[in-house]
């Protein structure tokens, strides 16, 4: 997209190639960092970070001083050192943008506020070395003996006023916060000290609207403040917004809540995560608006009109008392804009949920049961002064979903309508094994999405492909060509299907749809292999390996049953058994908590004509299998193994059963006289016995080419009586025997 002329006025970015300035030469510091007079915490932090990263890169420490000595290059930080750049400061005013200048061989990095200086330091480092902060847990850069600034003269003013991921799932670490700071994000829930140091606007609160009136303190004395549901007052959900006196009490409580937590820039006064509202006569009564019109309870805007009438005066008071703006969630029943003007001191945080993550606002076709969020956003724009777009980009369940392609269009749409604040929910980069998938898995699969989105928020008119290339080249280096192909292919697969994508798609089913069923799994894995071989930088290689692990987890590689194709009829010891999947995840049927005492494994081979199944059964003292038992037309009494298959069409169930004495039984559905043509051989081990079953695939109703993934379906079962115990049944993954839908997929290799 080309920049339009209005935006060119906003983005006063100019790059010219001034003389180089050497800061470190041959491992020796040649420059010093000069703080402005009375530096703010963010300016001190800017000096610290500049010093830290140059030391990480070169091993040399640039001293940080209050005033410069006579000798050497100076790096002047902050507005207090930039008085001779009045024009730049004017251009940066009211933003956290930055300028970087070379004046007489000295370097100046500054903003019109301390956060601008801090932002400038990170971009200076990025522009003058190969460093990237791709995700919270990892940084990639080269160690080198020199640090020479070559790209200096630059001024960059962001389009957005507020930007940053809202990191969720488990509490983040310092690394998560620092990643946000180093990538120019500017709001946080951290401590006042940290926010001052990182130049972050401090936003506190959340789903707290009703919590301001705690049930414990108020329900007994004032049940009328709580919602009436079917004639009964009870705490939970929202509050009764028309109870006499509630406004005054609410304001008082809210002041207490705020004063315990000051300082803050924004109070997040979000409704609870529920649509429960008060249904009392007062709350459901028609609302007469100042212009004389009436809004009745059947109007879609009724609930939000009622709510803003309550919250507007509260936000006014909060502003006049504390100079804090009130953020509210346009979410659930509040996604419909009210029929009253919203206070100028309210920031509306617009939460489009649930939305189709493949469709932009511009060409939104609402999901079933969902809304046209583009239209709703514009409706809000008409009654509210400040709107923030609060998205769900990157909430992908661990699948490498290219959300940035939708996000960039959404941002430009929002920009066109004056939206200047952006955020999105996103998991932290932290291993937490009690979450599935782990929060870090989102970053393993797809850090490129989170990084490009946060960079686009700075200025949505940047070129997305340039940003993606920058990320991929710096992060993966020698492996970048393969990783580019990998992500490009996923992008193409993703957008070639019309299927809807929503909040936290399920990883396994999404991978199956886009990778396995398209027949692209091997190609994508080959690209990851190629990338791993090409990677030289240890962090790059590690990140490729993590992407590979995320990809394999999505494809369910460990749990998938792949049946190797064999050239010759296999015996018990054929080397092909080493190449095929071995399934051993048996659980005591209906009682998964009881461990199944006899290890059992199943491996299969096929030659397109027959299926060969090797079953290994642990047995404390295996009897000599005589292999001369009878052929049964009913279930074998006592212990046995049964293998159940549904063919390509999942139509009929086929049972193949045998025991260690050579008895066999087979059936198609309830047809017990049916004969599959199965053949069973046995052999005895020290602590186990083995059976090798051969059965014609046609008997199992396998149809070649019926299914492009060449699947049949099955479940395995063993009945076993431990010595002195009672008979126990176990099945593969604890699956039931009679429901074809729960059968495992068995992939026959072509």
Which spans of this chain sit near Zn ion (rule: CB under 5 A)?
240, 242, 278, 280, 283
- Rounded to 5°, angle at Cα 290 from 285 and 295: 35
Classify residue 176 as exposed, middle or buried by CB count within 10 Å of its CB (0-12, 13-18, 19+).
buried
Please name which of 596, 592, 679 lies closest in space to residue 631, comparing C-alpha atoms: 679
Task: Kindly provide the b/e burial profile for residues 564-603, where b requires at least 16 CB atoms within 10 angstroms of the residue's own CB.
Answer: bebeeebeeebebbeebbebebbbbbeeeeeebebebbbb
Q: Which is nearer to Zn ion, 55 or 279 (CB)?
A: 279
Instruction: Find the shortest distance in angstroms from Cβ 231 to Zn ion.
Output: 12
Q: Which is nearer to Zn ion, 307 or 331 (CB)?
A: 307
Q: Which is nearer to Zn ion, 60 or 280 (CB)?
A: 280
Tokens 């990643």: give the residue. 179
Q: Is 150 helix (H, G, I), strand (E, B) or coil?
A: coil
Q: Is 89 helix (H, G, I), strand (E, B) or coil?
A: helix
Instruction: Find the shortest distance in angstroms from Cβ 234 to Zn ion.
Output: 12
Instruction: Find the shortest distance in angstroms from Cβ 94 to Zn ion.
Output: 42
Q: Which is nearer to Zn ion, 231 or 369 (CB)?
A: 231
Q: Which is nearer to Zn ion, 280 or 328 (CB)?
A: 280
340 token code pair: 């009253």
Instruction: Find the shortest distance in angstroms from Cβ 238 to Zn ion.
Output: 9
Contact 656, 639 (CB under 8 A): no
Instruction: Find the shortest distance in angstroms from Cβ 227 to Zn ion.
Output: 7
Alpha-carbon distance 50 to 23, whole Å?
11
Alpha-carbon distance 234 to 280, whole Å?
12
Instruction: Find the shortest distance in angstroms from Cβ 328 to Zn ion.
Output: 19
Tokens 């240890």: give the residue. 538
What is the full DSSP assignment across 375-401? HHHHHHHHH-SEEEEEE-TT-STTS--
Instruction: Find the shortest distance in angstroms from Cβ 279 to Zn ion.
Output: 7
CA separation (Å) from 551 to 137, 517, 526? 19, 15, 12
Classify strands 106-110 and 98-103 as parallel, antiparallel or unpaired.
Answer: antiparallel
Q: Which is nearer to Zn ion, 155 or 278 (CB)?
A: 278
Instruction: Find the shortest distance in angstroms from Cβ 559 to Zn ion.
Output: 52
Instruction: Find the shortest distance in angstroms from Cβ 211 to Zn ion.
Output: 18
Instruction: Find the shortest distance in angstroms from Cβ 282 to Zn ion.
Output: 5
Q: Which is nearer to Zn ion, 213 or 395 (CB)?
A: 213
DSSP at 512: I
Q: Which is nearer to Zn ion, 240 or 467 (CB)?
A: 240
Q: Is 206 helix (H, G, I), strand (E, B) or coil?
A: strand
Instruction: Find the shortest distance in angstroms from Cβ 224 to Zn ion.
Output: 8
Contact 613, 604 (CB under 8 A): yes
Alpha-carbon distance 548 to 571, whole Å?
35
Measured over the CA atoms of residue 438, residue 389, residue 333 and residue 254, the dihedral's sign is positive
Q: Which is nearer to Zn ion, 271 or 543 (CB)?
A: 271
Q: Which is nearer to Zn ion, 178 or 229 (CB)?
A: 229
Alpha-carbon distance 582 to 573, whole Å?
14
Q: Which is nearer to Zn ion, 278 or 534 (CB)?
A: 278
Which residues are CB-contacts of 484 (< 8 A; sequence separation ≥ 6)? Answer: 469, 472
Task: Kindly provide the b/e burial profile for residues 118-132, where b requires at least 16 CB atoms within 10 angstroms of the residue's own CB.
Answer: bbbbbbbbbebbebb
Instruction: Find the shortest distance in angstroms from Cβ 281 to Zn ion.
Output: 8
What are 640's strand-pairing partners?
719
Q: Which is nearer to Zn ion, 225 or 329 (CB)?
A: 225
- Rounded to 5°, angle at Cα 652 from 646 and 658: 65
Measured over the CA atoms of residue 720, residue 725, residue 728 and residue 733, the dihedral's sign is negative
Q: Which is nearer to Zn ion, 72 or 223 (CB)?
A: 223
Alpha-carbon distance 296 to 52, whole Å?
62
Alpha-carbon distance 43 to 52, whole Å?
14
Instruction: Find the shortest distance in angstroms from Cβ 229 to Zn ion.
Output: 10
Alpha-carbon distance 341 to 309, whole Å?
9
Q: Which is nearer to Zn ion, 240 or 641 (CB)?
A: 240
**Cα end-to-end span (Å), the chain:** 45
Q: Which is nearer to Zn ion, 65 or 297 (CB)?
A: 297
Contact 712, 748 (CB under 8 A): yes
Alpha-carbon distance 532 to 547, whole Å?
10
Classify residue 496 as exposed, middle or buried by CB count within 10 Å of its CB (0-12, 13-18, 19+).
exposed
Instruction: Find the shortest distance in angstroms from Cβ 237 to Zn ion.
Output: 11
Q: Which is nearer to Zn ion, 278 or 598 (CB)?
A: 278
Instruction: Find the shortest distance in angstroms from Cβ 348 to Zn ion.
Output: 23
77 token code pair: 């930080």
Instruction: Find the shortest distance in angstroms from Cβ 240 to Zn ion.
Output: 3
Sheet of 21-25: strand order equals 28-29, 21-25, 147-149
């Amino acid at each position: 997209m080309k920049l339009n002329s209005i935006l060119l006025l906003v983005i006063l970015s100019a790059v010219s190639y001034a003389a180089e300035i050497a800061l470190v030469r041959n491992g020796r510091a040649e420059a010093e960092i000069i703080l402005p007079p009375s530096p703010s915490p963010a300016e001190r932090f800017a000096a610290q970070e500049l010093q830290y990263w140059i030391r990480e890169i070169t091993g040399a420490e640039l001293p940080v001083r209050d005033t410069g000595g006579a000798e050497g290059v100076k790096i002047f930080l902050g507005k207090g050192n930039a008085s001779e750049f009045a024009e730049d400061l004017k251009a940066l005013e009211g933003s956290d943008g930055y300028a970087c200048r070379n004046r007489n061989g000295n370097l100046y990095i500054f903003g019109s506020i301390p956060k601008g200086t801090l932002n400038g330091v990170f971009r200076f480092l990025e522009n003058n070395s190969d460093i990237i902060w791709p995700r919270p847990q990892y940084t990639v850069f080269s160690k080198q003996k020199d640090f020479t600034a070559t790209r200096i003269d630059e001024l960059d003013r962001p389009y957005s006023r507020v930007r940053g991921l809202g990191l969720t799932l488990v509490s983040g670490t310092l690394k998560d916060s620092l990643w946000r700071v180093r990538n120019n994000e500017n709001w946080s829930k951290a401590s006042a000290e940290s926010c001052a140091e990182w130049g972050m606007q401090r936003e506190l609160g959340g789903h707290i609207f009703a919590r301001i009136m705690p049930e414990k303190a108020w329900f007994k004395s004032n049940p009328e403040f709580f919602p009436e549901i079917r004639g009964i007052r009870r705490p939970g959900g929202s509050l009764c917004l028309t109870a006499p006196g509630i406004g005054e009490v609410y304001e008082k409580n809210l002041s207490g809540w705020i004063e315990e937590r000051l300082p803050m820039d924004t109070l997040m006064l979000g409704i609870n995560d529920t649509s429960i509202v008060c249904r009392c006569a007062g709350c459901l009564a028609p609302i007469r608006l100042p212009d004389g019109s009436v809004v009745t309870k059947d109007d879609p805007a009724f609930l939000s009109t009622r709510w803003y009438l309550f919250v507007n005066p509260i936000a006014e008071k909060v502003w006049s008392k504390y100079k804090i703006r009130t953020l509210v969630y346009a979410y659930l029943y509040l996604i419909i804009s009210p029929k009253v003007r919203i206070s100028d001191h309210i920031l509306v945080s617009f939460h489009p949920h649930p939305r189709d993550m493949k469709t932009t606002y511009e060409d939104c076709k609402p999901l079933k049961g969902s809304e046209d969020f583009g239209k709703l956003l514009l409706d809000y724009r008409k009654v509210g002064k400040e709107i923030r777009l609060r998205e769900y980009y990157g909430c992908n369940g661990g699948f490498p979903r290219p959300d940035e392609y939708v996000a960039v269009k959404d941002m430009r749409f929002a920009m066109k309508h004056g939206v200047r604040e952006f955020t999105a929910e996103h998991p932290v980069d932290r291993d937490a094994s009690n979450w599935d998938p782990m929060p870090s898995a989102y970053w393993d699969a797809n850090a490129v999405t989170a990084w490009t989105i946060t960079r686009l928020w700075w200025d949505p008119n940047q070129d997305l492909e340039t940003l993606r290339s920058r990320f991929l080249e710096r992060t993966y280096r020698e492996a970048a060509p393969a990783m580019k192909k990998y992500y490009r292919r996923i992008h193409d697969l993703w957008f070639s299907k019309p299927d809807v994508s929503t909040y936290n798609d399920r990883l396994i089913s999404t991978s199956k749809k886009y990778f396995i069923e398209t027949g692209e799994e091997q190609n994508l894995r080959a690209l990851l292999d190629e990338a791993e071989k090409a990677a030289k930088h240890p962090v790059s290689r590690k990140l490729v390996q993590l992407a590979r692990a995320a990809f394999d987890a999505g494809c369910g590689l460990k749990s998938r049953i792949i049946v190797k194709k064999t050239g010759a009829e296999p015996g018990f010891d054929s080397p092909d058994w080493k190449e095929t999947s071995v399934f051993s995840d048996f659980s005591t049927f209906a009682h998964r908590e009881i461990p199944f005492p006899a290890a059992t494994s199943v491996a299969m081979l096929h030659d397109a004509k027959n299926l060969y199944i090797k079953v290994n059964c642990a047995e404390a003292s295996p009897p000599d299998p005589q292999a001369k038992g009878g052929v049964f037309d009913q279930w074998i009494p006592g212990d046995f193994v049964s293998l159940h298959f549904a063919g390509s069409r999942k139509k009929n169930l086929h049972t193949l059963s045998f025991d260690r004495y050579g008895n066999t039984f087979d059936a198609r559905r309830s047809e017990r006289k049916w004969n599959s043509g199965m053949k069973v051989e046995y052999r005895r081990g020290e602590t186990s016995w083995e059976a090798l079953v051969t059965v014609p695939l046609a008997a199992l109703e396998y149809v070649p080419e019926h299914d492009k993934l060449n699947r049949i379906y099955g479940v395995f079962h063993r009945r076993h009586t431990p010595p002195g115990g009672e008979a126990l049944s176990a099945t593969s993954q604890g699956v039931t025997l009679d429901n074809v839908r729960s059968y495992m997929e068995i992939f026959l290799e072509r």
